[in-house]
Amino acid sequence: MADNKEELGFDPSGVGIANGRYFGMPFPNDECPVVLVSVPWDATVSYSDGTSGGPEAMINASIQVDLYDEHLPSSPEFKIGTDETEIDMEQEGGRIKVYDYIKAINGEARTKACRIIDCLSEGKDLDKELRQMQEDVNQASAAVNYLTEQICAGYLRQGKIPGVVGGEHSVTFGAVKAAAESLPEGRKLGVLQFDAHADLRNAYEGFEHSHASIMFNILSKINNIGHLTQVGIRDFCFDEHDTIKREGRISAFTDSGIGEALAEGKTWKSICQEIVDTLPEDVYISFDIDGLDPSLCPNTGTPVPGGLGFQQAVYLLRMVASQRRIAGFDLCEVAPGENEWDANVGARLLHKMALFACFGGGDK
């Protein structure tokens, strides 16, 4: 720890400053080994929306997070950046932050998606107008993923680790694509997925970039994916189960399987090592908050009974980071509720993910 907080330009033990940045950290992004990229998008959620408010809620909650990790004595000195990329908007005659642009188009896309979902849930076929709306949502989703990919690729070229903060789980696609394409020739990317759902459906509800299709899209549309390891899944259809069994690149540690292993005497440490052993050297961590016990995330879009405890997840994250190189990560599906509980849990998990991605779970 720096003897003088002036050396850091920030008091990590002081009162958190609400400056619109994660954890109130004021550092320029070029000084930060990890930069968090907010993506407030939840157009395709099929049950309960609100996750587009996750990034802002976690920024607000993050200033209450104590920044010390008992395994990382230098953790208070760790600098985390907040992306503020802008794009040109010729029609409006100026520039706008990507965050604000995505937030704006999300509202229109979500309205269209709701009409489509309502129609399908009534067992009706889409008419011409709704088919056009479906295409509009698909195009908007593709644009969001492209922007996310470009932003993450830029940070990777600078030698930084991008961390995407959703939003629904579909926003992971661009970040994973950027991470996979950043690897040297001959190396493949592993994806570690924390989730209640398998997310292996093809264009669920006709949305090509559905939150329920993210892992299908990663495996089928991104080159250089070596393996997908799923942890905590407990809600999936027969077709997804069949895909897990047939696809040689998937290892699924289901919630039921984990529970049985623990009940029969296996330690969490040994299960975590089995999980790590499935992954190649380079790993992208994709964390859907509903992978946790829903008491920790009651307002997430599709909560499911079961799931990991907070410390179980942190232990696994620390072990993965200590044995593998983290190429990028995301935290998705955090939805603010009437209080800040979901955001508090999300902000603390986000801090651990950023720390471990850089330090591997212990000071280097």
- Partners of residue 231 on adjacent β-strands: 194, 253
pLDDT of 226 reads: 97
Are 339 and 85 a contacting pair, CB within 8 Å? no
Please state whether beta strands 161-166 and 94-97 pair in parallel, antiparallel, or not at all (unpaired).
unpaired
> Alpha-carbon distance 352 to 359, whole Å?
10
More confident residue, 93 or 284: 284
Q: Residues 204, 208, 210, CA angle at the centre, nearest 5°?
A: 55
pLDDT of 294 reads: 97
Cis amide bond preceding 167, omega within 30: yes
pLDDT of 7 reads: 61
Region 4-16: mean pLDDT is 75
Least confident of 5-19, 181-195, 264-278: 5-19
Q: What string of DSSP letters covers 200-237?
A: --SSGGG-TT-GGGHHHHHHHH-TTEEEEEEES--B--
Residue 287 has pLDDT above 70, yes or no: yes
Residue 363 has pLDDT above 70, yes or no: no
Render pLDDT for 52-96 as a digit per residue (tens, 0 to 9).
999 999 999 999 999 999 999 999 999 999 999 999 876 666 889
pLDDT of 61 reads: 97
Which one-letter amino acid corresponds to residue 15? V
pLDDT of 205 reads: 85
4: pLDDT confidence band, cut at 50, 70 and 90? very low
> Alpha-carbon distance 176 to 220, whole Å?
13
Radius of gyration of the chain (CA): 20
Percent of the chain residues topping a pLDDT of 90: 84
Are 151 and 98 a contacting pair, CB within 8 Å? yes
Render pLDDT for 131-149 as a digit per residue (tens, 0 to 9).
999 999 999 999 999 999 9
CB atoms within 10 A of CB 7: 9
Least confident of 166-180, 300-314, 349-363: 349-363
Residue 3 has pLDDT above 90, yes or no: no
> Alpha-carbon distance 74 to 325, whole Å?
20
Are 175 and 130 a contacting pair, CB within 8 Å? no
pLDDT of 93 reads: 62
pLDDT of 1 reads: 41
Query: In the numeric block, which tokens belong to residue 140?
Result: 């908007």
Render pLDDT for 328-358 as a digit per residue (tens, 0 to 9).
999 999 999 888 999 999 999 999 999 999 9
pLDDT of 91 reads: 63
Pick from 20, 24, 10: nearest CA to 77:
10
> Alpha-carbon distance 151 to 164, whole Å?
10
Are 40 and 167 a contacting pair, CB within 8 Å? yes
Render pLDDT for 179-197 as a digit per residue (tens, 0 to 9).
999 999 999 999 999 999 9
Residue 364 has pLDDT above 60, yes or no: no
pLDDT of 94 reads: 80
> Alpha-carbon distance 215 to 332, whole Å?
14
- Partners of residue 158 on adjacent β-strands: none
pLDDT of 285 reads: 98
Task: State CA 235 to chain mean position distance.
Answer: 19
> Alpha-carbon distance 251 to 230, whole Å?
6
Are 284 and 327 a contacting pair, CB within 8 Å? yes
9: pLDDT confidence band, cut at 50, 70 and 90? confident
Are 218 and 228 a contacting pair, CB within 8 Å? yes
Region 228-251: mean pLDDT is 96
Percent of the chain residues topping a pLDDT of 70: 96
| Residue 228: Cβ-neighbour burial (10 angstroms; 0-12, 13-18, 19+) | buried
Sign of CA dihedral 194, 335, 48, 214: negative
Are 163 and 331 a contacting pair, CB within 8 Å? yes
More confident residue, 221 or 208: 221
DSSP state of 289: G
Domains in the chain, ordered, with CATH?
31-359 (3.40.800.10)
